A = this chain, B = another copy of it.
Amino acid sequence: MRIQFNEMKETIRLAFIKAGMSEVKAEACARIHTESSCDGVYSHGLNRVSKFAEYIRTGLVNSEGEPILIQQMGSIENYDGNMGPGILNAQFTMDRAIDLASAHGMGLATLKNTTHWMRGGSYGWQAVQKGFIGICWTNTESCMPAWGSISSSVGNNPFVMAVPNGDSPLVLDMAMSQYSYGKLEVTRQAGATLPYPGGYDKEGILTDNPGEIEETRRILPMGYWKGSGFSILLDMVASLLSGGLATAGIDANNAGNCGGCSQIFMAFDPEKFGGSGFMEATLKQSIEHLHSAIPETEGGSIYYPGERTILTRKENRELGIPVNEKVWNEVSVLAGKSREGVL
């Protein structure tokens, strides 16, 4: 089943208004959720609407909370997110980083006391659409065992890096676990196995069986010790530069997924570096270099991060966005609509 972009956005918007958000904020959040689904990141698009609406209703997210400047130094600004909607806080703060970069070449803007930003890649796309290089990351509650342990003590701390390139920017959006719990669930429901081992079974053996990993909750960091170590450093720097909670503090805060987390947003104005035409020439040379590698399978293609997203986006804009019918009906009910239309 596919739903057109505007119909999905309008339905999500109504669901958020019913949950207690103002019209303007509901519209902005609905756009990001819809764009995520449209780009194929279903886990943080439509599929995340019910949970976010619940967070608004129960007050885990303060729907009227807005970022307040707590410190300004040259090209740096630190904000308190006041537990406001994570999407709006993150959008605002990446915009601040971009404005600072526009003035100073680079900008660093940080958020503390914020809430789940949904799809991290959204803020990378935001930067490149304005012509800026963007780097951002968030910490999260503990959801993954650190290397050498079997109990969760580190976050999956998504990390985003984005480089503008006309209509085909490079956007990396990468969590520190090899697979998300969403991917495990979808794979198990399909009766399939993971393409590569994604965690441990009860005997402590690496397995590609998603159900066994869901039972032990021992998901695998990407690159084994590497993803574990990177996660720890991302957490420390997010906390120290924002003055906000680290993963240990988010765990103690116990305010839902990412409740009270800390985020870093950096932007760079590529026009201020390398001279005229340098960026275009470098990107052209590098992308040609990548595309001319020998593919693994005959006739196969090699993609840079974000390249396939554009294809998915185009297809879903034309044909409608694929949805799980049950999820779509749930969100329609939250929006006060039946399947046939407004009740």
Give me the interface of A with B, judged by CB distance under 8 Å.
71, 73-76, 78, 104-106, 108, 110, 133, 135, 142, 145-154, 161-163, 170, 172, 174, 178, 196, 204, 222-224, 226-227, 229-230, 232-237, 239-243, 246-249, 251, 268, 270, 272-275, 278-279, 282-283, 285-286, 288-290, 292-296, 300-305
Contacts and interface: CB of A to CB of B under 8 A. Distances in A.
B236 A170 contact: yes
Nearest to A279: B240
B293 A240 contact: no
B104 A232 contact: no
Contacts of A135: 237
10 contacts: A74-B104, A74-B105, A76-B106, A172-B232, A174-B229, A226-B227, A232-B290, A236-B283, A240-B278, A251-B289
A76 B108 CA distance: 13
Contacts of A154: 290
A296 B149 contact: yes
Contacts of A105: 73-74, 76
A151 B291 CA distance: 11
Given A223-B223, A229-B172, A301 B239 contact: no
A229 to B, nearest CB: 4
A214 B73 CA distance: 50
Contacts of A106: 75-76, 108
The DSSP consensus for interface residues of chain A is mixed
Given A106-B76, A204-B296, A272-B73, A174 B286 contact: no
Per CB-CB distance, the 8 closest pairs between chain A and chain B, nearest first, are: A222-B223, A248-B289, A243-B274, A149-B293, A153-B293, A229-B305, A161-B233, A151-B294
Contacts of A248: 285-286, 288-289
Given A148-B295, A153-B293, A227 B233 contact: no
A290 B148 CA distance: 11
Given A76-B106, A172-B232, A232-B305, 6 more contacts: A110-B273, A146-B293, A222-B227, A223-B226, A243-B278, A248-B286
B275 A243 contact: yes
A192 to B, nearest CB: 17
A230 B174 contact: yes
Contacts of A110: 273
Contact of A282 (B76, B108, B240, B296): B240
A332 B34 CA distance: 65
A150 B294 contact: yes
A273 B242 contact: yes
A290 B146 contact: yes
B289 A247 contact: yes
Given A149-B294, A247-B289, A161 B224 contact: no
Contacts of A295: 148-150
Contacts of A174: 223, 226, 229-230
Find the residue from A74, A78, A286 having the highest chain B CB count within 10 A: A286
Nearest to A300: B148
Contact of A243 (B76, B152, B273, B289): B273
